[in-house]
Amino acid sequence: MGMSAEEIWAFHRRCGALRLRFQTMAAQSLPPAKLREHCKALGLPVEEELYQTHDGELAFAMDLAVYTAPPGRSRAIDRVAKQYGGRAGEESALVLNALSRAWLSLFRVLGPHPEAGLLLEDLVLGGEVWVVDEALAAHAQPGAVLGIRLGRVCGFAITCGVVAVLDPAMASEVEREVGDDRDLAEALLTSPRFVRGLWLLGLGYQPE
């Protein structure tokens, strides 16, 4: 990338601030009832103003509200990208593009990346991805399986805010289900129902 590790981390922090800004704009463009609907689907107790829900928990509902939509409807993040993409500055445009093209998948942590962050293996879509994220770098152990939504920015990827720590058996089950069918894999990973189930696991729900 032509950056030192310190410069990469500094750039990552600016990307994180821009990510929060655009995701907040996307969430605020939605009717409050829509976010409450996603909260209820995840079993989060919320009242009219959502103020009593912990930010960490609310982030899972925010992801559903911002990055998923019923068939035939546009996503909130895509509407923000359409409205502000042409007016964004260079870094803002990079982050907005990353968010609108972000993908959800199941990843295995391979270990530290030589420059900064971590190297992950996409267990469903295939390939490896370099992820720069301070929390993951500090806590994710090699071999861990994670459900994450990632967006690429300048050679590396940033997370879109929430992470589900998964049983490796779940990833194996998904791999068996989709096999080498790329279309089936993408359809599954973009299904609001699948994402909701993934975030329920991230919140600690254990299916019977």
Say which residues have a Cβ less than 8 Å from residue 174's Cβ, sequence separation at least 6: 106, 123, 124, 188
Structure tokens at 144: 């861990």
Mean pLDDT lowest among 55-59, 74-78, 87-91: 87-91
The pTM of this model reads: 0.90
- Kindly state the average pLDDT of the residues 144-161: 94
C-alpha 184/C-alpha 106 separation (Å) is 15
Q: What's the fold here for domain 103-185?
A: OB fold (Dihydrolipoamide Acetyltransferase, E2P) (2.40.50)
Q: What is the pLDDT of residue 47?
A: 62
Cβ atoms of 77 and 22 within 8 Å: the answer is yes
C-alpha 129/C-alpha 3 separation (Å) is 18
Sign, CA dihedral 33-37-38-44, equals positive
Check pLDDT > 90 for residue 63. Answer: yes
Domain regions of the chain by residue span: 5-99, 103-185
C-alpha distance across the termini of the chain, in Å:
46
Check pLDDT > 90 for residue 140. Answer: yes
C-alpha 5/C-alpha 117 separation (Å) is 9
Give a three-class secondary structure readout of 49-75.
CCCCCCHHHHHHHHHHHHHCCCCCCCC
- Kindly state the average pLDDT of the residues 60-83: 91
Nearest to 23 by CA among 69, 72, 74, 79: 79
Please give the share of the chain, as a percent, with pLDDT higher than 90. Answer: 65
